Structure 1
């Protein structure tokens, strides 16, 4: 019997950006930094960076020194967002966590399998551009390619992006494109301890491989 692909229900966005940023720093002890935001003129949304071809409208760093700007101090976070309350909430990866970014369909399939297998799960993001992002322990970028190969897959054949040192993810309730980033699995006291990437790679690789095959047959 084939797995049933059921999308997790993203949690409603109720917080304002500054409140969320402070909470991530104070409660999760995650580093946070402000990014670009969406402006609107004439009924058309555009990124605050002003570049018409912006690849990540409303959700990218605004300074090249953003790694040094990121902080886990709630006081510093409040000060940064007081200057621009519309700024997106960005979390650097490679510090408290790495992130494995996969297509939404594959991510939902993998998530269902993980839950049936009772695998430990950390927070999971759902983005408006139809991606699911799984939080795992730092060091994933060094482990995932070899682990995928041992499972019989070519890393280059899978739409799986590992975000580690020098990268970042956008956190809820950041608005980007046509919607807001939301939690498919929100941070709680129960998932404070993150899984190692190797614990999740098998269902993720299987789901991404299945999605790649489906794309080729369409």
Structure 2
């Protein structure tokens, strides 16, 4: 998915391609005020891309924390970011949830169905990522994750019956253009812009997301 940028927004939007991971991480910190931390990365082993963690069966190669104390490592300091990625320029860009945003994680097919529904409803969306594991993450105001189970029940669904995961405090999402194994890179389905700097509350999106996940079962 190729991204194009309006001239007036280019300085504010993290690029997806052609820019070092370090500079992209700095943009997230400076332009969006998101905390970031470096994760694992991909290494070529015998001509095959493997995760730096050394686990040949890694479930998220190149897109997971590289150390147990990652939450304490996450920072909103551009100086600290430059120092960390200077030490390992290939490190993935991971964004902790529960701080400046939470995320609602749904299957790609349900995500695109929900996006179409939201556009018809003229809802204001926050950023949305699309990852090679065929999942989409919708960014919402922090604190939204804890509301999701009750909101889903209020819509007549059992939370366990839907493939819808709320990611809040103690979690993280991979930020574009983090590469995810041999399947490609995380991209923006809805890119960060000046317009969506103010995130929606999860209550504004949950109906469309739950409906789409119900259809996708």
State how far apart, in whole Å, the 2-side matches of 1:85 and 1:183 are.
21
Structure-2 residue corresponding to 1:4: none
User: Does the 8 Å CA contact 1:13/1:172 hold for their aligned counterparts?
Assistant: no
Superposition map of 1:15-30 within 5 A: 15-30=19-34
State how far apart, in whole Å, the 1-side matches of 2:23 and 2:164 are.
31
State how far apart, in whole Å, the 2-side matches of 1:94 and 1:141 are.
8
State how far apart, in whole Å, the 2-side matches of 1:99 and 1:129 are.
16
State how far apart, in whole Å, the 2-side matches of 1:18 and 1:161 are.
29
Structure-1 residue corresponding to 2:127: 123
Alignment equivalent of 1:142, drawn from 146, 150, 161? 146
Structure-2 residue corresponding to 1:182: 187
The Cα shift of 1:156 comes to 0.3
Bigger mean CA deviation after superposition, 152-161 or 11-20: 11-20
State how far apart, in whole Å, the 1-side matches of 2:110 and 2:165 are.
13
Asked if 1:132 corresponds to 2:161, the answer is: no
Structure-2 residue corresponding to 1:153: 157
Asked if 1:171 corresponds to 2:175, the answer is: yes
Structure-2 residue corresponding to 1:192: 197
User: Does the 8 Å CA contact 1:107/1:132 hold for their aligned counterparts?
Assistant: yes
The Cα shift of 1:14 comes to 3.0
The Cα shift of 1:92 comes to 0.1
TM-score (norm. length: structure 2): 0.92
User: Does the 8 Å CA contact 1:36/1:59 hold for their aligned counterparts?
Assistant: yes
The Cα shift of 1:10 comes to 5.7
State how far apart, in whole Å, the 2-side matches of 1:96 and 1:76 are.
18
The Cα shift of 1:16 comes to 1.8
Gaps of 5+ in 2: 4-15
Task: Summarize deviations over 1:61-82 as a string: whole Å, max 9, x none.
Answer: 1111111100001111000000
State how far apart, in whole Å, the 1-side matches of 2:145 and 2:175 are.
20
Superposition map of 1:37-186 within 5 A: 37-177=41-181, 178-186=183-191
Aligned residues: 204
Q: Secondary structure at 1:195's aligned position in 2?
A: coil
State how far apart, in whole Å, the 2-side matches of 1:125 and 1:10 are.
14
RMSD: 1.0
Alignment equivalent of 1:204, drawn from 188, 209, 213? 209
Q: Secondary structure at 2:138's aligned position in 1?
A: strand
State how far apart, in whole Å, the 2-side matches of 1:14 and 1:206 are.
37
State how far apart, in whole Å, the 1-side matches of 2:134 and 2:205 are.
20
